Chain A
Amino acid sequence: MSAILEVANLRKSFGGVIAVDDVSFDVREGEILGIIGPNGSGKSTLFNCVLGQLLPNGGEVHVDGRRTTGMRPCDLNRLGVSRTFQLLQVFGQLSVRDNLILAGQEHQGSMYSRLIGRADAGLGAAADQMIAFFQLSHLAAENAGALSYGQQKLLDAAMAFMGGPRLVLLDEPAGGVNPTMLTHLRERLAAYHTERKATFVVIEHQMEFVMALCTRVLVLAQGRVIAQGTPHEVRRNPIVIEAYLGH
């Protein structure tokens, strides 16, 4: 299988702190790659550099063989790369349905054709489908801000899928979600993955979630990749145990 995302020698520092230190890895089409590591190991910074929220100090990012280093997040998104953030980010004053339409509308036609086109940008049915898929139908008309934390987390993930992305980067999708909702979220992610043949990269602390969902795991510590392999290999790797799982 070919690589959909290639990260080569990526570096990012803030003042004297080196957050991402010469990180290289490939993500193969169709896999679910987990990224784990202790707090402050540079996982989120790595995502921000890959997706254009931050400009890396060095290194390169390629999506589908095309160089995307320094590209604006909105342009990257329209290439089919989407993400969620570690902290919950839904639009509280828009309804659940409008949140989803918003998440997909920029993929429909040009900016000016959207001005004269339909109010829902032709995405009403797609949004309703996505709402049903994530089992939020009874909340479709509610403002997103009125939902519970777990429900907002589901909506947040659902939004990342609205544009029909081929590559989705999820930053701690399980953080702060209760066990019932967590199983539900994992099932939804796995179902989307099978249905659309999408590729996922998932940052997560919740080891059970990673073990159940990911096909391969990358371990970061102090901004460097210290190990990679299947979830079981990584779990038994003594370096990883010392850096991360070491109780």
Chain B
Amino acid sequence: MKRFGTAAAAIGAVFAVALPFFLKPFGIYVISMWAVLTIAAIGLNLTLGYAGQVSLAQGAFVGIGAYTVTVLMQAGWPFAAAFIAAGVLCFAVGWILGYPALRVQHHYLAFVTLAFTTLVFLVLRNEEWLTNGVYGINGIPRPVLLGWPTGKALNFYFFSLGMLTVLSLAAWWMLRSPWGRAFIALRENPIRAQSLGLDTRRYTLMAFAIGSSLGGLAGALYAPLVQFIEPNSFGLGMSFNLLLMVIVGGSGYFFGPFVGALVAVLLPEWMRIAEGYYLIVYAALVMAMMAFCPSGILGFAERAFKSASRGSQPAPALRAEGAGP
């Protein structure tokens, strides 16, 4: 299973590098969007999939990140500094949003974070002096990094892919460290975890803060990618879409967000041939997927792989299950 997963990841990486050379600018824009939203989904997967804290606020953090980087760049900050500031700000706001999670869980927590998303939307819409309200902000420049302009679609795609690589490696490192184990323990049984010395309070806040920070960094790439931001982009729709990516890909699987974001970004584009019906078809597909594989695409793949390898050698597996006192 592990070797199979590594091989699949390697093939995916080759595809991610080679694909844009065969695409028109709009196609490159779409896969850039995939790279950017995958970063936000990795953050949500951390909070929801690993640490088990339901959040409907990830879209709001993408918004906070996007507006932070835009406003700071308008004020003359270099992109790199504004990018880091977006991550730090979302880390801090995410930490604060984690406090309700210490008191409420599951769907109650979903409501708290849903209210937060609405709050952020209202602030972005109403504080016109800062955000230009419903008109949004137009003509956001793409940065020049160490003399390398990212203005062209292909360049910006590779910049986004590079950031995705760096941030997913950081997330991978954290999840394989004792923190990853602690986050899973938090999801499975916080009371037992605490009796084993885990400071569940600090780990919960960390799960929120780091997940939100990744949302903010994704937003900081979203703004120069689309070059136009408005409050509506970061409403509940975005949060639900990111939640969909995590669940469809496979919540709690490291590569779940990569697969989920691919489905959520590409499927609507491919469905355009169905014209007016495309949203209906898309919704039906998602519902069918949830009914038949609630653990997501990667959960389904894992099960299929396990039953295939068991099918080739059934006797030892049966014996192992029947054994024991």
Q: Which of B57-65, B195-203, B211-219, B269-277 lies at the interface with chain A?
A: B195-203
- Residues A116 and B196 in contact, CB atoms below 8 Å apart: no
Given the complex, which residues of A lie within 8 Å of B181, measured CB to CB?
94, 98, 101-102, 105
- Residues B177 and A115 in contact, CB atoms below 8 Å apart: yes
- Residues A94 and B185 in contact, CB atoms below 8 Å apart: yes
Given the complex, which residues of B lie within 8 Å of A85, measured CB to CB?
191-192, 195
Shortest distance between the CB of A31 and any CB in chain B (Å): 22
Interface membership of A216, Cβ < 8 A = no
Please report which residues of chain A, range 82-119, place their CB below 8 angstroms from some CB of chain B when the two chains form the complex: 82-83, 85, 89-94, 98, 101-103, 105-108, 111, 114-117, 119
Among A111, A121, A181: residue with most chain B CB under 10 A: A111
- Residues A117 and B177 in contact, CB atoms below 8 Å apart: yes
Interface residue range, chain A: 35 or more
Shortest distance between the CB of A209 and any CB in chain B (Å): 17
Interface membership of A151, Cβ < 8 A = yes
Q: With A and B bound together, what is the CA distance between A102 and B197 in angstroms?
A: 9
- Residues A51 and B185 in contact, CB atoms below 8 Å apart: no
Given the complex, which residues of A lie within 8 Å of B189, measured CB to CB?
89, 91
Q: Which residue of A lies closest to B189 (CB)?
A: A89
Q: With A and B bound together, what is the CA distance between A181 and B325 in angstroms?
A: 8
Given the complex, which residues of A lie within 8 Å of B192, measured CB to CB?
85, 89-91
Interface membership of A37, Cβ < 8 A = no
Given the complex, which residues of A lie within 8 Å of B196, measured CB to CB?
74, 77, 82, 102-103, 106, 159, 162-163
Q: Which residue of B lies closest to A98 (CB)?
A: B181
Q: With A and B bound together, what is the CA distance between A106 and B186 in angstroms?
A: 13
- Residues A92 and B182 in contact, CB atoms below 8 Å apart: no
Q: With A and B bound together, what is the CA distance between A53 and B195 in angstroms?
A: 8
Interface membership of A180, Cβ < 8 A = yes
Given the complex, which residues of B lie within 8 Å of A34, measured CB to CB?
none
Q: With A and B bound together, what is the CA distance between A147 and B194 in angstroms?
A: 23
Which residue from B178, B193, B199, B325 sits with its C-beta under 8 Å from A121?
B178
Shortest distance between the CB of A101 and any CB in chain B (Å): 7
Number of A-B contacts (CB under 8 A): 93
Interface membership of B176, Cβ < 8 A = yes
Interface membership of A73, Cβ < 8 A = yes
Given that A72-B194, A102-B196, A163-B196 are known contacts, is A93 also in contact with B184, CB under 8 Å in the complex? yes
Among A74, A114, A148, A181: residue with most chain B CB under 10 A: A74
Shortest distance between the CB of B285 and any CB in chain A (Å): 28
Given the complex, which residues of B lie within 8 Å of A82, measured CB to CB?
195-196
- Residues A94 and B184 in contact, CB atoms below 8 Å apart: yes
Shortest distance between the CB of A168 and any CB in chain B (Å): 11
Which residue from B184, B198, B324, B325 sits with its C-beta under 8 Å from A106?
B198
Interface membership of B119, Cβ < 8 A = no
Please report which residues of chain B, range 162-178, place their CB below 8 angstroms from some CB of chain A when the two chains form the complex: 174, 176-178
Interface membership of B127, Cβ < 8 A = no
- Residues A119 and B195 in contact, CB atoms below 8 Å apart: no
Which residue from B177, B195, B325 sits with its C-beta under 8 Å from A73?
B195
Interface membership of A42, Cβ < 8 A = no
Which residue from B176, B188, B197, B200 sits with its C-beta under 8 Å from A78?
B197
Interface membership of B179, Cβ < 8 A = yes
Q: With A and B bound together, what is the CA distance between A200 and B125 in angstroms?
A: 61
- Residues B184 and A114 in contact, CB atoms below 8 Å apart: no
Shortest distance between the CB of A94 and any CB in chain B (Å): 6
Shortest distance between the CB of B115 and any CB in chain A (Å): 29
Which residue from A53, A90, A98, A107 sits with its C-beta under 8 Å from B197?
A107
- Residues B195 and A83 in contact, CB atoms below 8 Å apart: yes
Q: With A and B bound together, what is the CA distance between A148 and B223 in angstroms?
A: 53
Q: With A and B bound together, what is the CA distance between A202 and B174 in angstroms?
A: 37
Given the complex, which residues of B lie within 8 Å of A103, measured CB to CB?
196
- Residues B194 and A74 in contact, CB atoms below 8 Å apart: yes
Please report which residues of chain B, range 288-310, place their CB below 8 angstroms from some CB of chain A when the two chains form the complex: none
What is the 8 Å Cβ interface bit string for chain A, positions 114-150, against chain B (1 contact, 0 not)?
A: 1111010100000000000000000000000001101
Q: Which residue of B lies closest to A108 (CB)?
A: B178
Please report which residues of chain A, range 53-76, place their CB below 8 angstroms from some CB of chain B when the two chains form the complex: 53, 72-74
Q: Which residue of A lies closest to B324 (CB)?
A: A148
Q: Apart from A73-B194, A89-B192, what 10 extra A-B contacts exist at CB < 8 Å?
A: A53-B191, A72-B199, A74-B200, A77-B197, A89-B191, A94-B184, A107-B197, A115-B179, A150-B324, A163-B196
| Chain A residues packing against B (C-beta within 8 Å) | 51, 53, 72-74, 77-78, 82-83, 85, 89-94, 98, 101-103, 105-108, 111, 114-117, 119, 121, 147-148, 150-151, 159, 162-163, 178, 180-181
22 A-B pairs whose Cβ atoms sit less than 8 Å apart in the complex: A51-B195, A53-B195, A72-B194, A73-B195, A74-B196, A74-B198, A74-B199, A77-B196, A77-B197, A85-B191, A89-B192, A91-B185, A92-B188, A93-B184, A102-B185, A106-B197, A115-B174, A148-B324, A151-B325, A163-B197, A178-B325, A180-B325
